[in-house]
Structure 1
């Protein structure tokens, strides 16, 4: 009976501790209201249009324009950027090659873990789809490394190869960013003092004046994480509890009834 009680307690504790860890591994927050999504794009890093994760932003532009958007990404997230370019219905002189690039807050180009970030549209194609899944954003990294870090990320969409006669023709672009929460599997020991958000230093300085504007105002719904908490702590706690319960169960099995198996004669 005692062993059964120990095992039941262990299973209950395991389920209670694992619940938040399983929740952390689910996809990111619910998408934002698309009715408030931006309908234009910037033309450089400095005036990139801000979008939230889960929004589908649109923009009307001309073939050959550089289109820029920015979005926030926090530690533990693996962002996926998708873009669709709707090409003009009028006849084109040849194929077109479009490219999707993603840069971090330091304007370092980030490699795509997978996805087609460069694709060529046939002469009669009506649209072209692009995608880029980044590596998991880390809370901290070595200064010499090119790892994704928490902060603002920039999307650049443009055509890189086309016929001269197609330059300037109207196109419509759609961009969306979603993230998957990776959790403790990507956790590291350390965190940035501030996320890589352009202009964030202006708001952290103590001043009696009005709040100073930043170059990027978006941030995750739950705020920027400090980087020290992850579901690794949950699984570490589970291991400690199971080890303690195993010790108790082993002791209960081996201690016996407390009396010697054979009693000497005359006792």
Structure 2
């Protein structure tokens, strides 16, 4: 009976430990007044947007629009964009690209990254879900790493008649925490947050940085994942199994009668 109680307590601990592993990041209200209302025109002028917020911008067809956001190890970011088109226009193809802090284009795991809006269509929706962000990777690999990510939204193959037409855009970034399934042994010394220049000689305490945003809880740098919890729980279950096996096989402990 004592062994059964111990096993039950261990299973309860296992369930409590596993619960946070599948939780998504909580988004901010879409009507947040602090969300940006403009977009940059290059990597250097990309508008910063936090995960869980919707950024808006008015532009002209043919412009290149840029935003940036932070992504940490263990997250799987999803970028969604909506382009509202004028009442009259020709067929247009829009595309959304995501680059990491080294300006390497990251492949979309799934989502309609490129779409063609038929003539006079009111809007077009795009999406790109990246691969899970890893805490560390080989130098030759193109894996997503912690740091700043850039969103580029533009029309490709735009007809000449549609150049300069007014459009309005909405961009939203959401990150899902996938837990220890993406954990690796190793971490970066610093997240990939691009700097605009080296530290000035006259002020060694200041450094110019292109992106100042970071996750709400700071950069994890890969030191923690729920894999630690599963390892600890596995050790406890193994110990309880050993105690239970010993209790079942030790016998009554009395010497045999003559």
- TM-score scaled by structure 2? 0.93
Aligned counterpart, 1:233: 228
Of 232, 238, 244 in structure 1, the residue corresponding to residue 239 of structure 2 is: 244
Equivalenced residues, count: 257
Residue in structure 2 matching 1:52, options 50, 53, 57: 50
**How far did residue 162 of structure 1 move?**
2.3
Larger radius of gyration: 1
Contact 1:14-1:238 at 8 Å conserved across structures: no
Alpha-carbon RMSD across the aligned residues, in angstroms, is: 2.1
- Whole-angstrom distance in 2 between the partners of 1:82 and 1:208: 40
Provide, for residues 63-100 of structure 1, a one-character-per-residue CA deviation record: whole Å limited to 9, x for no partner.
Answer: 000000000000000000000000012x22x2000000
* Displacement of 1:255: 0.8
Residue aligning to 2:116: 120
Q: Is the 8 A contact 1:98 1:119 kept in 2?
A: yes
Q: Give the corresponding residue for 2:6.
A: 9
2:172 is aligned with 1:169: no
Aligned residue number for residue 257 of structure 2: 263
Post-superposition offset of 1:259: 1.4
CA contact (8 A) 1:86 1:126 kept: yes
TM-score, normalised via structure 1 length: 0.90
Contact kept? 2:68, 2:149, Cα under 8 Å: yes
1:163 CA displacement: 1.6
Q: How far off its partner does 1:29 sit?
A: 3.4
Separation of aligned partners in 1, 2:211 and 2:7: 47
- Unaligned 5+ runs, structure 1: none
2:62 is matched with 64
The alpha-carbon distance between structure 1 residues 200 and 25, as it changes in their structure 2 partners (threshold 3 A), is: farther
Distance apart, 1:210 and its partner CA: 5.6
